[in-house]
A = this chain, B = another copy of it.
Amino acid sequence: MTAPSQAPTQACADDVVSIGDAAKATGVSTRALRYYEEMGLVRPAAHSPGGHRLYAPAQCARVRRIRQLQDLMGFNLAEISEILANEDRLDSLRDEFHRHEDPAHRLRIAEEALTVMSDLDARVEAKQKRLAEFRQAISERRRRAEVVAAELQQEAP
């Protein structure tokens, strides 16, 4: 198993930053970082001997991803947790794929990846559909109003 961004690896030792710098780099508060960790969303790449959290670029990217899913797409942390789990699974499947040569094995991996992506997609599709319907309803009323307005423009210019 290899969930890259989430793995509790002892870090590449290099380019890890403190929680404060990670916060600045991602635009979230240190409190939020600790909260995400508590919720199992992002674990520091390592800890200093004294117990301070250390974040590698991968973790910062993960945090930015979390905010994206939150702010821009309106998922809650529970949903985000599942989505990230799926994405992590995809990454690990990629790794596994490249580590094996056997076509039959690769096929099984590719197929699992496809189901995971279907799951991800379905999750979003539902949300998107509602919005599309809503916009449809608005745009219909809008077109009718535009026709009326155009007619009135002719009548009383």
Residues of A within 8 A of B (CB): 72-74, 90, 103-104, 106-107, 110-111, 113-114, 117-118, 120-121, 124-125, 127-128, 130-132, 134-135, 138-139, 141-142, 145-146, 148-149, 152-153, 155-156
Contact = CB atoms under 8 A, between A and B. Distances in A.
Contact of A73 (B130, B138, B145): B130
Contacts of A145: 110, 113-114, 117
A73 to B, nearest CB: 5
Copies in the complex: 2
Interface of chain A: mostly helix, strand, loop or mixed: helix
A72 B130 contact: yes
Nearest to A72: B130
